[in-house]
Structure 1
């Protein structure tokens, strides 16, 4: 299997399968917590303009296999030294094979080249495989793990790219209150 990594934009037709699948996944996973889950998912996907995910402050990649989009992700500027990962996705047929980890690594490398020294992200509490991915990739939970994840709703993580494992550089990103449903 040879994956092709393409630097592109959210407006490129090759990105459409990723964006459409993410919207369906968000709506499905959170249906019991948001009666308007389809509308909420659609709103989330339209929340940020495409240009935020373009250089010099952002990036968007897709992973193509045999002409089909099977993964991808993006980052945008969070602050002057921090990139915020967004839209990490892999096709169901490609999961549990290391592709999401590769997407994260590709995005981290681009963030470093673009001058960021750390990464921030949030994932939803109904996405335990994403939580596992980020923990295994060296991300530090920036929330109180003794509180049930559904209380937080969104689970923030951070990573120092220059010194992975260093946590004192992430202190200003720590959430002191649960990120509950908003």
Structure 2
């Protein structure tokens, strides 16, 4: 297992988790901000960034870095919808064995997030899918989405469901181009006229 799967400037103690993934007992940034234990995997990104590396880190939903990024997501919702997403969420919903929360790092810099929370009966919900504005239109969101789907399969889920909105046309276009189709409304915004509910089958019935 190659230790250079981890971003430059990070200290770590690593043990093998499963092929292609590392289990991290401790990761701390050079600034001293602690990460919760999680898994690290690598995605090669050789596009517009020119040889950069996209790394996915599994982190706890209530960890400081995740909350910083979630606050950015919520601020964008305020701009687009006039208020934050007030869906009730618990850190435990994004914890194994049914859930996960991923942070995307580009050469060590956090650039995006995506969470999975178990809905039962083979369904898992995609939440807080986000790429920072300065890193958009470079294919990172599509790579992140594909990686999250792979993670959902590894967790044993058969279908990903999600809720987005009419004021996020870029997100809607991404999901539909990736094979997501309309599904029955569910959850906190099931009755909202502005919500769009989509789903993608990960494995055949």
C-alpha separation in 2, matches of 1:139 and 1:43: 24
Secondary structure class of the residue paired with 1:43: coil
C-alpha separation in 2, matches of 1:101 and 1:83: 18
Residues 46-125 of structure 1 mapped to structure 2, 5 A cutoff: 47-125=88-166
Match of 1:178 in 2: none
C-alpha separation in 2, matches of 1:43 and 1:157: 19
C-alpha separation in 2, matches of 1:142 and 1:81: 15
- Which one has the bigger strand percentage? 2
- Which one has the bigger helix percentage? 1
Match of 1:147 in 2: none
Which 4+ runs in 1 deviate beyond 2 A?
A: 65-68
* Structure 1: runs of 5 or more not aligned: 32-36, 144-150, 164-168, 170-182
TM-score normalised by L of structure 2: 0.67
**Pairwise CA RMSD:** 1.9
Q: Does structure 2 retain, via aligned residues, the 8 Å contact 1:119–1:158?
A: yes
1:27 equivalent in alignment to 2:78: yes
Which structure has the larger Rg over C-alpha atoms? 2
**Paired positions, count:** 148
* Structure 2: runs of 5 or more not aligned: 1-51, 185-191
Match of 2:62 in 1: 11
